[in-house]
Amino acid sequence: MRKQTMDRDWIATARTLSEALPYLQRYTGAVVVVKFGGNAMGDDEAMAEFARDIVLMRQVGMNPVVVHGGGPMINDMLAKLGIESQWVRGKRVTDKATVEVVEMILSGLVNKRIVQAINDQGGRAVGISGKDDDLMVCEADDPELGFVGKPVEMNVQVIRDLYNAGIIPVVAPVATGVADNETFNVNGDTAAGAIAGALQADRLLLLTDVAGVKNKAGDVITEMTPDEVRAMIEDGTIGGGMIPKTETALQAVKEGVRAVVILDGRVPNACLLELFTEHGAGSMIRSTIPRVKPRRR
C-alpha cells in the first residue's frame, strides 16, 4: 500500500512538471520582481520555502529580483530603543533617529537574512539597498512624514549587472535623497513597483497576507484591468491597505510592467503557483485581459 501511494505521488509530480513546461519556456529570460514581506519573514520554514522558489525560478532561466520590507522587525527595534512610533494616515513618521534604525534593520538584519536563505538553497544572492550605485533617488513624499521617500530617479543597471552574472539581487527599500545625502525610508511595495517599472519587468508579484483583491461579495477577483481597479477604489470596494498596493500596481503597469499580481505569500509555493500553473494565484492586473487564452500566456 505504501509503495502504491509513493508511485501515485511520483506520477503526480511528473505530471505537474510536464504541465508546467509551457510556462517554463514562456518565462525563460523574463525579469520577475518579487516583493517579499509580511509574516513569512519571521518564520524560518517559510523563509526557506520562499528562498527555494526564488532559486528554482533562477535555475529555470528566469531573472528574479527580490525587494523586501521589514516593518515588524523595525517596530521591535524601535521599541527596544525606546523610540516611539507615530503614524499619519497609516504611514510611519520617520525622523532622523527612526530612519537610522530603519536603515540598520532593512539593509542589515533583514536583507542579509534573505540573502543567506537563498544562498543556503544553492542560489547566488547579493544584498543591496536603493542607495547602492544611486539605484533609487528620492524626494520627500510628504513633509508630515519626515524621511519617507518617493522615488524620482531610478538607475537599475546595477540590478541588470547582477542578474546577467547569474546573481539574484535582494534589494532593501532604503534610498538616497536628491540633495544633502539624505537617507529615505521607502514603502516596500512602492520600491518594488518603481524597480519593476524601470526594468520593464514581465511580472511584479506583490506578496501579502491576503488572498488578493476582493469584490463586494468577498470573492477574489482573478483578473482586472486598470480601469476596473480605479472604479473599485472610487466606489469603496477596494479600501484600507489594499489601496496602496493596487495604486502601486496601476503605476507599474503604466510604466511598462506587463502584469502585476497581488497574491497571498502565506500559501506554500505561491510564486510557483502563479507563474507555472494555468490558473495562477491571486489577482492579476494588466492593461488587457485575453478572453480565450490562459491568462499566463
pLDDT per position in the chain (297 positions), as tens? 545 454 566 666 566 666 766 666 777 899 999 999 866 676 888 899 999 999 999 999 999 999 999 888 898 999 999 988 887 766 788 999 999 999 999 999 999 999 999 999 999 999 999 999 999 999 999 888 999 999 999 999 999 999 999 999 999 999 999 887 899 999 999 999 999 999 999 999 999 888 899 999 989 999 999 999 999 999 999 988 888 899 999 999 999 999 999 999 888 888 988 888 877 788 999 987 665 455 544
Count the neighbouring beta carbons within 10 Å of the beta carbon of residue 134.
Answer: 13
pLDDT attached to residue 111: 96
pLDDT attached to residue 85: 81
pLDDT attached to residue 92: 80
What are phi and psi for residue 38, nearest 5 degrees? 80, -160
Domain covering 20-285 in this structure, CATH number: 3.40.1160.10
pLDDT attached to residue 277: 82
Please check whether residue 127 is in contact with residue 112, taking contact to mean a CB–CB distance below 8 angstroms: yes
pLDDT attached to residue 147: 94
pLDDT attached to residue 6: 47
pLDDT attached to residue 250: 96
pLDDT attached to residue 56: 94
Question: CA nearest 50: which of 71, 35, 31?
Answer: 35
pLDDT attached to residue 297: 47
pLDDT attached to residue 44: 85
Please check whether residue 118 is in contact with residue 167, taking contact to mean a CB–CB distance below 8 angstroms: no
For residue 97, is it left (φ>0), alpha (ψ between -120 and 50) or beta? alpha
pLDDT attached to residue 17: 61
β-pairing verdict for 203-208 and 31-36:
parallel
Rounded-to-10 torsion of CA 117, 56, 169, 103? -40
**Three-class HEC string of 38-106:** HHHHHCHHHHHHHHHHHHHHHHCCCEEEEEECCHHHHHHHHHHCCCCCCEECCEECECHHHHHHHHHHH
pLDDT attached to residue 15: 63
- Torsional sign, CA 232, 234, 238, 242: positive
The span from the CA of 288 to the CA of 200, in Å, is 17
Please check whether residue 127 is in contact with residue 114, taking contact to mean a CB–CB distance below 8 angstroms: yes
- What are the structural domain ranges in the chain? 20-285
The span from the CA of 101 to the CA of 109, in Å, is 11
pLDDT attached to residue 287: 87
Count the neighbouring beta carbons within 10 Å of the beta carbon of residue 227.
Answer: 10
pLDDT attached to residue 9: 60
Decide: pTM greater than 0.75.
yes
pLDDT attached to residue 139: 94
